Amino acid sequence: MPATLVAPTAGTATVAGHDLPTSPGQVRRHIGYVGQAGGVDENGMSQVLQFFALPLILFTGILLPMSLAPQWMRTVAQVNPLHHAVEAGRAPANRS
């Protein structure tokens, strides 16, 4: 009930001067409540990581040297900080 998710059955309650049943939005702001609707379940986090990790890995040049990639991919790779780390790691091997 304090998070305004369940309607009160009896009595009254206020949070920072706001009545729970009549001002649920204000109450949530004061208690810092963030709902789970659309949140991450036990499988959701792996989906989020895959969504971000695959492009990051692809645009680092680990799997495909960026010199062989199309121009648009090389342009995108320039904003990926991991790409620069991979290139720095390859530099000693490319000097010979």
Angstrom distance (rounded) from CA 86 to CA 60: 6
Residue 48 in any domain: the answer is: yes
Pairing of strands 14-15, 18-19: antiparallel
Number of domains in the chain: 2
For residue 64, what are the CA distances in angstroms to 33, 56, 78? 44, 12, 14
Q: Which residues contact 33 (CB under 8 A, 6 or more apart)?
A: 3, 4, 27
pLDDT, residue 50, reads 78
Does the pTM surpass 0.95? The reply is no
Q: Are residues 69 and 30 in the same domain?
A: no
Q: Which two tokens stand for residue 72?
A: 């648009």
Residue 96 in any domain: the answer is: no
pLDDT, residue 29, reads 78
- How many alpha carbons fall within 13 Å on the CB side of residue 95? 4
Domain extent, residue 78, equals 44-91
pLDDT tens track, the chain, 96 positions: 556 667 777 777 788 888 877 887 787 777 776 666 555 556 667 777 778 888 888 888 888 788 888 898 888 888 888 888 888 888 888 776
Q: Which residues contact 8 (CB under 8 A, 6 or more apart)?
A: 1, 20, 21
Q: Are residues 29 and 48 in the same domain?
A: no
Contact 81, 59 (CB under 8 A): no
